[in-house]
Amino acid sequence: MHAVRDFEDLIAEGAGVPVDGWDFSWLAGRATEERPPWGYARLVGARMATVAAALDIDTGGGEVLAETPTPPPLLVATEAWPPNVEVARRTLRRVGATVVRVAGAPPLPFRDGSFDLVTSRHPVETWWDEIVRVLRPGGSYLSQQIGAGTVRELSEAILGPLPPPASRHPEQAVAAARAAGLEVVDLRTATLRTVFHDIAAVVYFLRKVIWTVPGFTVDRYRDELRRLHDRIRAEGPFVAHAQRFLIEARRP
């Protein structure tokens, strides 16, 4: 009976935490993920210090962009998910960024050649033609992206065996960038160990990172969550692997 109560308490805890923004600090002590070796926030900060106008696409709650030590004179961020827009506006006041709510499809609401730098961390989709359009000649796009099959082990623990991933491969991004007229100047990949210590962390993650199990709800997947909870109790933390890649491309 205690195990049932324990499961229900953890499920309720993971389901009750707000998931606005892109801050994962609630997972401290409950889940860990290795960081990519290239230090994306540091790279963005270095680029921002050298340009006059920059755009951050899919800024989330603005958490990464807010780390910019020397923001450019013009700094704009876009976000499509309404709950994140106000979070980003509050977060990005300290770097003087303007946050623009956008639709989940192109075009971007900016004139041609508006920016020296476009950045994006974990974009939902990369609109390569729009990036080229809003970049000035010589401008760059710098992005850390989610790779194919990221945390696949967790997806399959809930959904069962899945076919090989068809999208989000780094070589596809390179081909799309070149097709849009950009010169790819850097590409790096990383596989990152991701560890979940309890089922509350799993529930929180699946509610926040919604593409891991599309349409996830606790009620819909209660049986699968219970099996995973029992597995964690019997075998220890659940380990998955996140895939990331860094791509930098320049407009000639």
pLDDT one-digit tens code per residue, 34-92: 999 999 999 999 999 999 999 999 999 999 999 999 999 999 999 999 999 999 999 99
Please answer whether residues 85 and 60 qualify as being in contact, where contact means their C-beta atoms are separated by less than 8 angstroms: no
Q: How far apart are CA 210 and CA 131, in angstroms?
A: 25
Q: Is the pLDDT of residue 3 over 70?
A: no
Model pLDDT for residues 96-125, shown as the tens digit of each residue: 999 999 998 999 999 999 999 999 999 989
Q: How far apart are CA 214 and CA 183, in angstroms?
A: 34
- The DSSP bridge pattern shows strands 183-196 and 31-33 to be antiparallel
Over residues 227-237, the mean pLDDT reads: 97
Over residues 115-141, the mean pLDDT reads: 97
Sequence length of the chain is 252
pLDDT at 5: 58
Closest CA to 235 of 200, 193, 197: 197
pLDDT at 50: 98
Over residues 164-177, the mean pLDDT reads: 97
Residue 81 is classified by DSSP as S
Q: How far apart are CA 171 and CA 169, in angstroms?
A: 6
Please answer whether residues 58 and 81 qualify as being in contact, where contact means their C-beta atoms are separated by less than 8 angstroms: no
Please answer whether residues 140 and 215 qualify as being in contact, where contact means their C-beta atoms are separated by less than 8 angstroms: no
pLDDT at 114: 98
Q: How far apart are CA 135 and CA 132, in angstroms?
A: 5
Residue percentage of the chain with pLDDT more than 70: 98
pLDDT at 86: 95
* Averaged pLDDT score across all residues of the chain: 96
Q: 114 CB contacts (<8 Å, ≥6 apart)?
A: 53, 55, 134, 136
pLDDT at 2: 42
Q: 190 CB contacts (<8 Å, ≥6 apart)?
A: 34, 36, 37, 38, 243, 244, 245
Over residues 202-209, the mean pLDDT reads: 97
Q: 233 CB contacts (<8 Å, ≥6 apart)?
A: 3
Please answer whether residues 121 and 98 qualify as being in contact, where contact means their C-beta atoms are separated by less than 8 angstroms: no
pLDDT at 63: 94
Closest CA to 142 of 33, 42, 35, 66: 42
